[in-house]
Amino acid sequence: MNIKDRMVNMIKRNLISTSQVSDCLEKTGVLHEISALNNGHFRVGPVRFTYAFNCSNWELHEQLQNVGAGEVVIVEAINCGNHAAFGELVSKFTILYRQAAALIVHGLVRDVNVLRKENYPIWCSGTTPLGCFNRKNESGPDDALLEGFRKQYEGTIAVCDDSGVTIIPATNITEDFLERLSFIELLEDAWFHSIDTDGFTTYETVCQKRYLDKGSVFSKYDQLKKKDLGSA
């Protein structure tokens, strides 16, 4: 199993949250202005970058043919204004028939009554009844813009939950980051042990790091001292 698959499996198995992943990334990686359309979903997978352009979803339909099972599909709605990039049809095809793990759109979605009824794992910027046109563009987005999106998303992993979406860059898909992901849970166990059992305040726990006191948490305090990931 390659390192990307191992990382995806670790995050799934341990339900490592978007907040924890962002902490491991030193408070980075979050896709801003994106929120869950339906609550209660936890999804993680390799990213598939797609786009809609110029108030048309023609190119998006074309690209979605290539989506693989388990992928998190990110749709950039480029120059789509107040038009939804997709709705019920695209959601059903991509999630049910292409077996995508999730759909994320930097833009709007429509048919929300159905999307919520079907409880699809979708993250978006907002909703509207207004859909994109089904027309082929005579020319596409600027090459430099598309290249920027590809650099941002290719080879990455997306983690999605009720807090939003965090992207693990390709440069962080390493053995070292696997260890950091594993360790963040140990650190948070120490924090909660400190306030629940030792009776420390959050100031004593997070700022003064009293969980590092010998014997205050458990026998792994030496690991915590060496590999403390920082602040809450």
Quick one: what percent of the chain has pLDDT higher than 70? 92
pLDDT band at 224 (very low <50, low <70, confident <90, very high): low
Amino acid at 86: F
Provide the whole-model pTM.
0.90
pLDDT band at 214 (very low <50, low <70, confident <90, very high): low
What DSSP assignment string belongs to 134-193?
Answer: ----SS-S-HHHHHHHHHHHTT-EEEEETTEEEEE-GGG-SHHHHHHHHHHHHHHHHHHH
Q: Which of 8, 64, 72 is nearest to 34 (CA)?
A: 72
- The pLDDT, as a whole number, for residue 41 is 98
pLDDT above 70 for 230:
no
Express the helix, strand and coil content of the chain in percent, nearest 5 each. 40, 20, 40
pLDDT band at 219 (very low <50, low <70, confident <90, very high): very low
Quick one: what percent of the chain has pLDDT higher than 90? 81
Bridge partners for 216 per DSSP: none
- The pLDDT, as a whole number, for residue 117 is 98
Which domains are seen in the chain, by residue range? Answer: 3-170 (3.50.30.40), 175-227 (no CATH)
- The pLDDT, as a whole number, for residue 223 is 57
What is the arithmetic mean of pLDDT over 100-125? 98
- The pLDDT, as a whole number, for residue 96 is 98
pLDDT above 80 for 196:
yes
Q: Counting Cβ atoms within 10 Å, is residue 215 exposed (0-12), middle (13-18) or buried (19+)?
A: exposed
> For the ranges 21-25, 116-120, 161-165, 184-188, which has the lowest average pLDDT?
184-188
For residue range 72-100, what is the model confidence (pLDDT) as tens digits? 999 999 999 999 999 999 999 999 999 99
What are the φ and ψ backbone dihedral angles of 52, each rounded to 5 degrees? -110, 155
What is the arithmetic mean of pLDDT over 186-203? 90
Residue 144 vs residues 31, 56, 197: alpha-carbon distances, Å: 20, 20, 54
Query: CA angle at residue 21 from 15 to 25, to 5 degrees?
Result: 165
